[in-house]
Chain A
Amino acid sequence: MKRNIVRGLGLLSFVWLFGTSLYAQVLSPAGLEMLKQQKFWLHSQNAAGTVFDDTRNYSNVNIGYGIEEGDFHRPQEGENIKSLNVGSEGFLSLKDVYVWGKFSFEQKNVNNAGYNASITDPFRGMPYYVVDLHKSKWRNQYYDLEFRVGTPIYWSKIAFGLQGAYTASIATKQRDPRVDTRFYTLDLIPSITYSIAEKHKLGLTFEYASIKEDSRMSNANNYVDQDYYELYGLGVAVRGIGSGRTTNYFGHKLGAGLQYNYITSRVNLLFEGTYTAKVENVEVSFDDPKKDASVKDQSIQANVSIYNKGNRYSHYFKTGYYFNHIDGIQYVSQRDNSESQKGWMDLFKSIRSTYRLHVVSANYSLYKNMGEEYSWKLDASMMYKKYQDEYLLPNSTKRAENLYFGLCGKKNVALSDLMNNRLLLSISAGYNKSLSGGYYYGGSHADYITVTQIEKLDNNYLTSNYYQIGANITYSQKYRTDKKANIFAKAGYDYVKTNDYNFDHRSHLTFSIGANF
């Protein structure tokens, strides 16, 4: 059923984009990048602000392939990941509404992933999942459909909008204990903007999301019982043997956001502050559900983006702060075997663990203008990240503090204007400095792999110094001289190197082809 919905919406999205191409003008990859970066409301949650973006119609379709490998990765990530993805995105300005849509599908073949036998993404802020001892292949599929609809300004003051996203994934572990897990979120964000004056706009958003993951473990070989561990955070685990468990994760997210936009012909500034609160319950078994845990996940985010357009040069600056706080709540549940009840009773709940993440980031870009594109571009970025995780009783802690600096230079070489031939070259470099961090385990069963391997390796990863280099090359040209469609081929390579904790490197090679309309 879900798959049919995704297929239907994907088809709709494609038709949409195809229709868009009838009206759009030719765009090189650099031009599309610059166009999208300038449209601040598009990057905000507020779809009602689309009317202020003055975005031209565009469409983009692409298909890509990537290979990622190397030992510098978090313990639950695959040693080797091969991925194939297709995607499309487009904006269409109709008479009375502005419509933006995006659809992507990715197939990931993950090899030798360890310490996860339960959920699609062990890093999504859910500490309660199941791990096993053996590395395994995973076959994962990801579907992502997003749309935005915005109205024009009514009564010279107010516009309305709606943003929606449906993301779904199917992930299957290929070795006992196996898991077949299905995850989806449905996210809706209605919004409104109010034009205070010609240069001053105010926006307001509300968010509601439904989250669900259905994880079913089993053994293909019923004669061999497998060891597994049910995680409770920071290495605390309960050991089991057998085929594992089925787990029902379900939750809701509520949020609100506020935007302020100052815009003139040369300067565009957008401030956005958002708050979201998510609650997700973890129930073991569908037939005889036992409430095992819950998470209360709160996030605060504030960003300021500024774009200054000059005759020869343009400047872009964005700075932001993100704070995430997760309370891990565990239940004391007891089985009632009496005839009248028969089931699990939730007797008590308490916060047993807390997870905090602070991120401060800043990005600056300098463009040398070249019509609707740029001739060259220089990016500088900085990110400070601080993890503060604690299991309250018995006390365990995990902390990591990192500072990352990055530089990126891009050159858009105009080879010919007749066919709009362009060569976009990019090189980047970065360095991560680990400022502090460490893992202390004060609970029982300190010999479990959840302590000695998962958390220890993860702490090693999070407290490693490393440098990063990368290069990208994109060739693009018009499909035919009389057509406005622009086709492109892109290859990229990123390499991360460290010598800390016996890690070595991680590399990521990507190829993609596509077209802009």
Chain B
Amino acid sequence: MKKYTIILVLIALTFVSCHQFREVNEAENVTPLSVSVKLKMSIENLAMTESFLVKFDNYSEGLHLEKEFSNDEVHMDDIVPGIYTINVSGVAIDQEGSEYYLNGNLVNVALFDNEASIELLLQGLKISPLVFKEIYYAGSRTPLNAVYFRDQFYEIYNNSSETLYLDGIYFANLTPGKAKTTLPLWPEEDGHDYVYAERVWRFPGNGTDYPLKSGESCVISQFAANHKLEQYNPNSPVDCSSSEFEFNMNNPNFPDQPAIDMVHVFYNGKSELGRIPQYLTSVFGGAYVMFKVPHGDTWDPVNDPAMKTIDLSKPNRKTYYAKIPIKYVLDAVEAINNESMVNAKRVPAVLDAGLTYVGSTYCSLGVARKPNKDKNGDFLRRENGALIFQDNNNSTEDFEKQVHPELRRYKTGMPSWNHSK
């Protein structure tokens, strides 16, 4: 018996080694590829389009190519075989004069065939008047080198020339909370129409309670306290006590602050807060959206089964995620660990064609939206002096990485109803 076992093991080893040798012998020296991209528009009645920019990003190897073009097809040369994110973006105006960002992307495209042809769907999103201006998610370290994550905050800016109302606008973080390559599997019938949230909050108000004037910003903090106080973390880079809103989770150790509480809407299929008394988005970087339900629509992910789903790749795990129609979204930002995790991109290109990161955890660093500048390098401003921030729906371009976090950077306005005024 022993003899046969030895013979079988030897045969198996021979087979495995032969297979390994045959496989490596098939490999040839790498050569650059040529690939063509054909565009398919999802918006009708476009009156005018500007030139498009196509980008090929192989983040893991740090290879980036881009080209401008004006037709519906472009050829890219000198591509090293690998896994790429392909982004195409441009601006278009429809016959009614509405301005759209046209974006399309394909994530994790394996390019290895020369002369390959790729079709890319371009979707349009109206340019948002409300944008994420600064996000601080990475946390900080205490003097004893312990970790501290209560100082996370999200700043929202009125980038338009009109006064807007925050009332009823939603904030959510998408799933997976942290970038990873094993992305969830969503219902096929959802198509490209939704993003999926872990937890959803809403600004309170009856419609006109929380106006935000042009050039003003508001801050939502995880915990709206001065984090530099001795009892929290003297090493924290921020004092969030002037925040307009906070995500109050009724934690007696981190008591309710004067900031207004955000309204909790959804977590795991329910409206309850859940058992863990904290709202923490990933210190590696999350994906955040801000959205508004249009007048006449109802959106209730708790009571409407059509607006929530489980991850179909884990059918035995009954964790529910809220379905957010992409057409509701005002702004989205995706943050990831670092450039190597772009293969795990969660947010469709129509919302955020890029990504941003601080590249570390508990490093007291955040990401901040860049102000637009003129050719002389001066900030572009509206007539009232409000800064105009860059918004290409591409966080790679729109955000400055690894900044020291600062509430109301560039001295943007504070709303009159702020409690600390």
Instruction: Name the A residues within 8 Å of B108 (CB-CB).
Output: 334-335
CB-CB under 8 A for A241 and B360, given A252-B17, A252-B20: yes
Known contacts A347-B112, A444-B62; 4 additional CB pairs below 8 A are A252-B20, A334-B110, A339-B185, A348-B81
Interface status of B340 (Cβ within 8 A of chain A): yes
Q: Is residue A412 within 8 Å, beta carbon to beta carbon, of the partner chain? A: no
Instruction: Decide: A223 and B147 in contact? CB cutoff 8 A.
Output: yes
Chain A proximity of B337: nearest CB distance (Å):
6
Say yes or no for B300: interface residue by CB 8 A criterion.
no
Q: Which of A279, A296, A337 makes the CB contact (< 8 A) with B313?
A: A337
A241-B338, A337-B182, A339-B185 known; A327+B62 contact, CB < 8 A: no
A61 near B: Cβ within 8 Å? no
Which of chain A's residues has its CB closest to B62's CB? A444
Query: In the complex the two chains form, is B80's CB within 8 Å of A339's CB?
Result: no
Query: Is there contact, CB below 8 Å, between A332 and B82?
Result: yes
Closest B residue to A295 by CB, please name it. Answer: B24
Select one of B82, B145, B338 contacting A239, CB under 8 A.
B338
B30 touches A339 (CB 8 A): no
Beta-carbon contact of B83 and A332 below 8 Å: yes
- Indicate if the CB atoms of B30 and A334 lie closer than 8 Å: no
Which residues of A have CB within 8 Å of B359? 239, 241
- Shortest Cβ distance from residue A278 to the other chain B in the assembled complex, whole angstroms: 9
Q: Which chain B positions have C-beta within 8 A of A348?
A: 81, 110, 112
- Chain A contacts for B112, CB-based, 8 A: 332, 347-348, 350
Q: A329 to chain B: which residues have CB within 8 Å?
A: 24, 27
Q: Mark B169-182, 1 if CB is under 8 A from A, else 0.
A: 00000000000011
Closest to A225 in B: B361
Q: How far is the CB of B31 from the nearest CB of chain A, in Å?
A: 8
Chain B residue nearest in CB terms to A240: B340
User: Are B340 and A239 in contact (CB-based, < 8 A)?
Assistant: yes
In Å, the complex CA distance between A296 and B26 comes to 11
Chain A residues in 8 Å Cβ range of B340: 238-240
Interface string of A329-367 (1 = CB under 8 A from B): 100111101110010000111111000000000000000
B362 surroundings in chain A (CB, below 8 A): 223-225
21 contacts between A and B (CB under 8 A): A223-B146, A223-B147, A224-B362, A225-B362, A239-B359, A240-B338, A252-B17, A279-B23, A295-B24, A329-B24, A332-B82, A337-B183, A337-B184, A338-B185, A349-B24, A350-B27, A350-B30, A350-B31, A392-B30, A443-B62, A444-B62
Main DSSP-derived SS at the B contact region: loop
A269 proximity list for chain B (CB < 8 A)? none
Sorted nearest first, the 9 A-B pairs with minimum C-beta distance are: A444-B62, A252-B17, A348-B112, A350-B30, A296-B24, A279-B20, A329-B27, A445-B62, A225-B361
How far does the Cβ of A372 sit from chain B's closest Cβ, in whole Å? 43
Q: Is A409 interfacial (CB-CB < 8 Å)?
A: no
Complex contact A444–B63 (CB within 8 A): yes
Q: Does B277 contact A (CB under 8 A)?
A: no
Q: Bound state CA distance, A333 and B112, in angstroms?
A: 11
Give residues in A with beta carbon < 8 Å to B: 208, 210, 223-225, 227, 232, 236, 238-242, 251-252, 254, 277, 279, 281, 288, 294-296, 327, 329, 332-335, 337-339, 342, 347-352, 392-394, 443-445
B residues 64-110 in Cβ contact with A at 8 Å: 64, 80-83, 108, 110
Known: A332-B83, A334-B83. A252 touches B27 (CB 8 A): no
Q: A223-B147, A339-B185, A393-B80 are in contact. Are A294 and B23 (CB under 8 A)?
A: yes
Beyond A254-B17, A335-B108, whether A351 also contacts B30 by CB under 8 A is yes
Measured CB to CB, the nearest residue on chain A to B30 is A350
Q: Is B312 an interface residue (CB 8 A)?
A: yes
The distance in angstroms between the C-alpha atoms of A291 and B111, with both chains bound, is 17
Collect the chain A residues with CB atoms within 8 Å of residue B182's CB.
Answer: 288, 335, 337
CB of A251 within 8 A of CB of B20, answer yes
**Interface pair A444/B110, CB less than 8 Å apart:** no
Please report the C-alpha to C-alpha distance between residue A342 and residue B311 in the assembled complex, in whole angstroms: 14
Residues of A within 8 A of B4 (CB): none
Q: Which residues of A contact B43 (CB under 8 A)?
A: none
**8 Å CB interface, B329-368 against A:** 337-340, 343, 359-362
- Please encode chain B, from 6 to 34, with 1 for each CB lying within 8 Å of some chain A CB and 0 for all others: 00000001001100110111111111100
A225 CA to B182 CA, complexed, in Å: 21
Whether the pair B110, A347 counts as a contact (CB closer than 8 A) is: yes
The interface residues of chain A lying within 8 Å CB-to-CB of B339 are 239
Chain A: CB-nearest residue to B64: A444
Who on chain B is nearest to A331 by CB? B27
CA distance A238 to B342 in the complex (A): 12
State whether A332 touches B17 (Cβ < 8 A).
no
Shortest Cβ distance from B80 into A: residue: A393
Instruction: Report the minimal beta-carbon distance from B149 to chain A, rounded to whole angstroms.
Output: 10
- Asked if A225 meets B360 with Cβ closer than 8 Å, knowing A327-B27, A350-B27, the reply is yes
Residues of B within 8 A of A208 (CB): 17
- Among A281, A327, A334, A337, the one with the most B-chain Cβ atoms within 10 Å of its Cβ is A337
- Contact status A241-B337, CB under 8 Å: yes
Q: A239-B339, A393-B32 are in contact. Are A339 and B146 (CB under 8 A)?
A: no
Write the B258-271 contact mask toward A (1 if CB under 8 angstroms, else 0): 00000000000000
Taking CB atoms, residues of chain A closer than 8 Å to B80 are 393-394
On chain A, the residues within 8 Å of B23 by CB distance are 279, 294, 349
What residues of A have a CB within 8 angstroms of the CB of B26 in the complex? 349
Q: Which residue of B lies closest to A277 (CB)?
A: B21
Question: Which residues of chain A come closer than 8 Å to B146, judged between CB atoms?
Answer: 223
A327 touches B24 (CB 8 A): yes
Q: Does B416 contact A (CB under 8 A)?
A: no
Residue with the greatest number of chain B CB neighbours at <10 A, chosen from A227, A242, A444: A444
- Whether a CB of chain A sits under 8 angstroms from the CB of B50 is no
Shortest distance in angstroms between A7's beta carbon and chain B's nearest beta carbon? 22
For window 20-55 of chain B, which residues contact chain A by CB distance below 8 Å?
A: 20-21, 23-32
Partner of A339, one of B60, B64, B313: B313
- CB interface residues, B 124-152, toward A, < 8 Å: 145-147
Q: Roughly how many angstroms separate A210 CA and B362 CA in the complex, as a whole number?
A: 44
Q: Which residues of B contact A225 (CB under 8 A)?
A: 284, 360-362
Are A210 and B27 in touch, CB under 8 angstroms? no
Contacts of A251 on B, CB cut-off 8 Å? 20
Q: Which of B30, B83, B145, B181 contacts A393 (CB 8 A)?
A: B30
**Using Cβ atoms and an 8 Å threshold, which residues of chain B touch A393?**
30-32, 80
Question: Residue B61 at the A interface, CB < 8 A?
Answer: yes
Min CB–CB distance B17 → chain A (angstroms) = 4
Shortest beta-carbon distance, A355 to chain B, in Å? 14
Contact of B185 among A241, A295, A337 (CB under 8 A): A337
Q: Name A288's closest neighbour in chain B (CB-CB).
A: B182
Q: Which residues of B contact A327 (CB under 8 A)?
A: 24, 27
List, in ascending order, chain A residues with CB within 8 A of B337's CB: 240-242
How distant is the Cα of A242 from the Cα of B336 in the complex, in angstroms? 13
Shortest B273–chain A CB gap in Å is 25
B185 nearest CB neighbor, chain A only: A337
Give residues 171-219 of B contacting A (CB, 8 Å). Answer: 181-185
Q: Which residues of the partner chain A approach B29 to less than 8 Å between Cβ atoms?
A: 350-351, 392
| Cβ < 8 Å to A, chain B residues 294-321 | 312-313
User: In the complex, A285→B336 CA distance in Å?
Assistant: 21
How distant is the Cα of A223 from the Cα of B284 in the complex, in angstroms?
12
Pairwise interchain contact A227-B24, C-beta atoms closer than 8 A: no
CB distance from B268 to the nearest CB of A (A): 22
Which residues of the other chain, B, contact A444 by a CB distance below 8 angstroms?
61-64
Q: Are B81 and A332 in contact (CB under 8 A)?
A: yes
- A347 to B84 CA separation, bound complex (whole angstroms): 14
